[in-house]
Amino acid sequence: MSRAWLAAIAFVFPMCANAGPPDALPFAQELQDVLDNGLRTTSGTGVAAAVVVAGKGEWVGVSGMSDPTAAAAVEPDMLFDIASVGKVFVATIVLQLAEEGKLTLDDRLTRWLPAFPNVDSTITIRQLLNHTSGIAHFAENSAYWTAVFGDLDSLWTPEGTLSCLPEAHFAPGAGWHYSSANYVLLGMIIERAIESTLSEELRNRLFVPLRLDHTFTSLDHGDTLSGRFAHGHFDLDGDGTLDDMGSLPRTSLFSSAWAAGPVVSTARDLARWADALYGGQVLKRESLDQMLDFHRPTPGEPLMSGYGLGTAEIRSELIGAERVWGHLGWQPGYMTAMLYLPSDSVSLTVMINDNNESCITTITVGLWGVIKSHL
């Protein structure tokens, strides 16, 4: 990393070095009650959540189990696979590179990458970012899941993941379709544009300067962080019973998704990240405005009303808010909601270690209800 870039980081993030510990929110017990009650009424496994109210304080809470067999509870510093919420980090790096003149959002794939089957080389970076490329999602191919779960120790390459793509859904720009393949391609473009690795750029540009001390790239730290993960729970054999995935390798899941879900984190770090990004501390105003320029509609995604550049516009009526930005994530054994409510400058993160949609929805709505009553 150049000294010029280090100096730029010091300019953009001066508050990170001097900020003291944040105040605790005075309604912490009410928030904790939401976790405990929500987990119980929806038969969830475990949950970690965090709230940051800009200028007022923050809260972190946990409830339930990481490993029920060993009676090991979820702890605040446990890591969760945030899955597609990692797309927000990748999109931020792409926008930073555009600010630095290393690429433009209207660059076509032909400038950066070779041709791939079922990928139109006229697709632009912007179309990858907002899912208007037409590219299918590799997860739509059952053979992808067979291969991933057939060898959980296997290390996938981006090219291997892209080889699983079905035919495109439409011509570039002719519609909207969510596809993690878009972000695999963006990861490859990032590495070509700056001759670095995506992992290095995530750490050096975002994790370190923002002091996200419990946020890591999923592949680079797999074995060393294994004991810090909240165990994921997923029905692996289809018998209707959740299986504890805590002792299973996740190499194939992490590596096949790669830039579409490259981050593991804690609830506190993720809420602080949302506060910094959407609060205007990471990108220039023009770049943030582009990130929040939402394409509508988003067919097939009932929880979204629009999608910008790596950021979703969540249907506000779902939680009773005026506007909601952020991202949702799903991987076998984990679900994450990272939300930002701009009218009140509130960041809210909820992570669960199973795929109980009722659980994460109930808790997220309940937390916002408590927060709203006190603002």
State how far the alpha carbon of 266 is from the alpha carbons of 37, 76, 163, in Å. Answer: 21, 7, 32
Phi, psi angles (nearest 5°) of residue 47:
-150, 145
Contacts of 101 (CB under 8 A, 6+ apart): none
- Span 320-354, pLDDT tens digits: 888 999 999 999 999 999 999 999 999 999 999 99
pLDDT at 20: 52
**Backbone conformation region of residue 87, classed left if phi is above 0, alpha if psi is from -120 to 50, else beta:** alpha
CATH number for region 3-7+23-374? 3.40.710.10
Q: Mean pLDDT, to the nearest integer, of 198-223?
A: 90
CA distance 334 to 88: 17
Inform me whether the pLDDT recorded for 180 exceeds 70.
yes
**Prediction pTM value:** 0.93
For residues 115-136, give the mean pLDDT: 98
**Residue 217: pLDDT band with limits 50, 70, 90:** very high
Task: For residues 191 and 343, give the distance between their C-alpha atoms in angstroms, rounded to a whole number.
Answer: 36
User: Which residue has 């190499």 as its token pair?
Assistant: 251
The pLDDT assigned to 218 comes to 86
Is the pLDDT reported for residue 6 higher than 50? no
- Domains of the chain, residue spans: 3-7+23-374
What pLDDT score was predicted for residue 225? Answer: 67
The predicted-structure confidence for 295-314, as pLDDT tens digits, reads as follows: 999 999 999 999 999 999 99
pLDDT digits (tens, 9 = 90+) for 30-74: 999 999 999 999 999 999 999 999 999 999 999 999 999 999 999
